[in-house]
Every structure is written in structure tokens, then in C-alpha cells.
């Protein structure tokens, strides 16, 4: 009997040890300033206001220097265990996907259903954006590179890593060589900061955003009071109490709230949770929001909710219906 218990304990321990967090996807995206200053931009008029937006397709089709920098960064990051999503390939895939969705038909003539939200969601996305900007400057007969690489968390909009500076001027080296040198020079510093971000994530939980909104079909608003956990509280305070209990070290920040919405930032969710089978499974904002939804389904709330996922790091719970 003792042997069996020991074996079960060993198996559970190994499963817990093997549990792996959800790996963020990373993609290099040229900065707006790079695209616009190099002429890779398009003009739009929205609500009577003219807007200039980067034209990534034009950029990847014509800028050899940027392609070189992206390739170099991608090979280094792949070596560090993070193969990058390729912007050029992602843009091609999206075009192809749109064409296939439009053309696809079932044997009975049925078409793929796609809501406006589904179409909006069909964009090149990554959990961490490597925002890259560089320019090759001249100083007399010498060339040098100004380099700026920012790692941005796509959900919290926080800069989680960065490396910037100027390379040493050279009269003989070609601009492409100087650019390659800049990438090699700054990437270790950048990865060091990225490592600090990951270390913090494993220690203090993944930082996500959570929003609660309500459909007009919801039977109550967020200022309504409920008897929950032996206390009478407003709905928003009930959600606060749940977050305090379920966030790592109870860390979260309600940044805004009204009778129709609650906005939470710096919500530190655990990287893993124990599933019903006893296994440690990785969690993200959606799974965390699902747990809150299951609380809201039960008395005294008895309400259905839609969980809307925005990548690994943001989820909305829309109260009232699915």
C-alpha cells in the first residue's frame, strides 16, 4: 500500500514538474516612425481626420535592410528557444486565409459564418511585439547606425525590454554590416531584460487585463448588491474579493468602474492551476476569466456570461448572455 502511495506521489510530482506555462508568441514589427519616415505608409480619412498608418506589406516587399535585421533577430531568438512569428509570412497567411474563407463552401452549399468581430480579429498578432527602429546616419565620411529595439507586452502595453543606442562610426563597413553589428551588439542586453520579465512572471504571476461589461439583456447592473460570502456587497466588490482570493499575492488593480463596466489592470494570474484530474495545467487570461464566469453562473448571481479572448493576456467577461 505504501509503495502504491509513493508511486502515485512520484507520478504527481513529475507531472507537476513537467507542467509548462503558455509560451508567448513574439513578432518583430517595424516601428511606425520607421515605416512612415521611409515612405511605407498609407493615408486614411476617418471621421474627417486624416490618419497616416504604416504599410507593412509595402515595407516587407521593398526594404532589404529591415528584412536583414528581422532575419538576424529571428535566428538569434530561435537559438534562445523563441522562434519568432514572421511578419511577412503572417501577412501572406492572412490574405490567403481571407480568400479561402470567402471561397469555401460545404457540399450542401453552406458558407463559413464570420461575424464582423471575427473579421476584425483577423490581424497579425503576437503576445510580445519587438518594435524595431533603426536609421543609418552619416558623420562626414563615416556611417553609423542608430538602433532602437523595444519589447512590448501586447496586452498591458508595457515596455518589458529594450535596448537602444548608436554603433561606432566606420568609413569602410557597409551599412548592412553596421546594421548586423547593431543587432548582435544589442540582442544580449535585450534578452537579459526579457529574462527579467519572464523571471518576474514566474515569481509573481502573468500580468493580464480583465474587463467586465454587460449586455443590455443582463438582469442587474454592477452596482446591484448581493449577499455573498456572508456579506452584502456591490457586484463590483464581489469581483474584487474574488480577484483578491485568486490572484497571485492578491495583486490586481481596479482602474475604472461604473454600473456597466469594471476594468482591471495589473491582474497577476498564476501560471498554472490544478485541473480536475490533478494535473498542473498552464493558464492564461481566458481560463482565469472562465473561472470567474463559473462563479457568476451560481447563486446568488445566476447569470450567463460570454468570455471574449484577446490573446494570452486580456479577456472580457460580458455579463447577461453567452
Which of these, 2, 8, 6, 3, lies nearest to 279 by C-alpha position? 8
C-alpha cell recorded at residue 17: 514538474
Of the candidate residues 9, 23, 53, 118, the single one contacting another protein (CB under 8 A): 23
Of the candidate residues 202, 232, 255, 274, the single one contacting another protein (CB under 8 A): 202
Least Å distance, CB 278 to another protein, is 20
Provide the mask over 125-164, with x wherever binding to another protein is found by CB under 8 A and - wherever it is not. Answer: --------------------------------------x-
Provide the β-strand partners of residue 305.
319
CA distance 240 to 191: 35
The three-state secondary structure class of 17 is helix
Q: Give the containing element (helix H, strand E) for 196.
A: helix 175-204
Of the candidate residues 12, 142, 146, 191, the single one contacting another protein (CB under 8 A): 191
Of the candidate residues 12, 15, 22, 295, the single one contacting another protein (CB under 8 A): 22
Of the candidate residues 198, 215, 226, 242, the single one contacting another protein (CB under 8 A): 198
Of the candidate residues 81, 106, 109, 110, the single one contacting another protein (CB under 8 A): 81
* Range in contact with another protein (rule: CB under 8 A) among 1-9, 18-26, 40-48, 236-244: 18-26
Of the candidate residues 82, 226, 228, 308, the single one contacting another protein (CB under 8 A): 82
Between 92 and 138, CB nearer to another protein: 138
- Indicate the burial class of 171 (C-beta count within 10 angstroms; 0-12, 13-18, 19 or more): exposed
The three-state secondary structure class of 9 is helix
Number of residues engaging another protein in binding (CB under 8 A): 28
C-alpha cell recorded at residue 268: 497577476
Between 83 and 320, CB nearer to another protein: 83
- The dihedral over CA atoms of 96, 73, 138, 164, expressed in degrees to the nearest 10, equals 120
Between 14 and 166, CB nearer to another protein: 166
* Range in contact with another protein (rule: CB under 8 A) among 33-41, 58-66, 94-102, 189-197: 189-197
Torsions phi, psi for 132 (to 5 deg) = -110, 135
Residue 92 CB-half CA count within 13 A: 7
Of the candidate residues 95, 97, 111, 188, the single one contacting another protein (CB under 8 A): 188
Asked whether 270 and 283 are in contact (CB, 8 A), the reply is: yes
Q: Give the containing element (helix H, strand E) for 91.
A: helix 87-103
Q: How many residues does the chain have?
A: 322
Least Å distance, CB 303 to another protein, is 35
Give CA 183 to chain center in angstroms.
Answer: 24
Between 30 and 167, CB nearer to another protein: 167
181 touching another protein, by CB under 8 A: yes
Asked whether 268 and 252 are in contact (CB, 8 A), the reply is: yes
Task: By CB under 8 A, name the binding residues for another protein.
Answer: 20-24, 79-82, 163, 165-168, 181, 184-186, 188-189, 191-192, 194-195, 198-199, 202, 271
Amino acid at each position: 500500500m505504501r509503495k502504491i502511495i509513493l508511486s502515485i506521489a512520484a507520478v504527481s510530482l513529475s507531472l507537476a514538474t513537467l507542467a509548462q506555462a503558455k509560451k508567448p508568441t513574439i513578432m518583430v514589427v517595424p516601428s511606425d516612425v520607421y515605416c512612415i519616415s521611409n515612405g511605407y505608409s498609407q493615408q486614411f480619412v476617418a471621421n474627417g481626420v486624416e490618419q497616416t498608418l504604416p504599410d507593412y506589406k509595402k515595407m516587407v516587399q521593398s526594404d532589404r535592410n529591415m528584412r536583414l535585421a528581422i532575419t538576424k533577430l529571428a535566428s538569434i531568438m530561435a537559438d534562445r528557444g523563441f522562434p519568432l512569428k514572421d511578419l511577412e509570412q503572417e501577412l501572406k497567411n492572412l490574405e490567403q486565409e481571407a480568400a479561402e474563407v470567402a471561397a469555401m463552401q460545404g457540399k450542401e452549399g453552406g458558407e463559413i459564418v464570420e461575424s464582423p468581430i471575427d473579421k476584425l480579429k483577423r490581424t497579425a498578432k503576437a503576445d510580445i511585439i519587438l518594435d524595431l527602429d533603426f536609421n543609418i546616419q552619416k558623420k562626414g565620411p563615416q556611417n553609423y547606425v542608430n538602433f532602437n529595439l523595444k519589447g512590448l507586452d501586447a496586452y498591458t502595453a508595457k515596455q518589458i525590454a529594450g535596448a537602444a543606442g548608436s554603433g561606432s562610426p566606420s568609413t569602410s563597413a557597409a551599412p548592412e554590416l553596421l546594421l548586423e553589428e547593431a543587432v548582435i551588439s544589442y540582442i544580449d542586453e535585450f534578452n537579459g531584460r526579457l529574462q527579467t520579465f519572464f523571471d518576474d512572471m514566474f515569481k509573481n504571476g502573468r500580468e493580464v487585463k480583465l474587463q467586465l461589461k454587460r449586455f443590455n439583456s443582463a438582469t442587474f447592473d454592477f452596482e446591484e448588491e448581493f449577499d455573498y460570502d456572508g456579506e452584502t456587497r456591490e457586484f463590483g466588490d464581489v469581483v474584487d474579493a474574488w480577484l483578491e482570493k485568486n490572484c497571485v499575492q492578491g495583486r490586481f488593480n481596479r482602474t475604472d468602474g461604473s454600473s456597466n463596466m469594471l476594468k482591471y489592470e495589473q491582474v497577476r494570474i498564476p501560471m498554472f492551476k490544478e485541473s480536475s484530474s490533478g494535473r498542473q495545467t498552464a493558464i492564461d487570461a481566458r481560463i482565469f476569466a472562465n473561472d470567474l464566469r463559473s462563479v457568476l453562473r451560481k447563486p446568488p448571481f445566476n447569470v450567463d456570461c460570454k468570455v471574449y479572448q484577446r490573446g494570452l493576456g486580456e479577456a472580457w467577461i460580458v455579463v447577461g448572455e453567452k
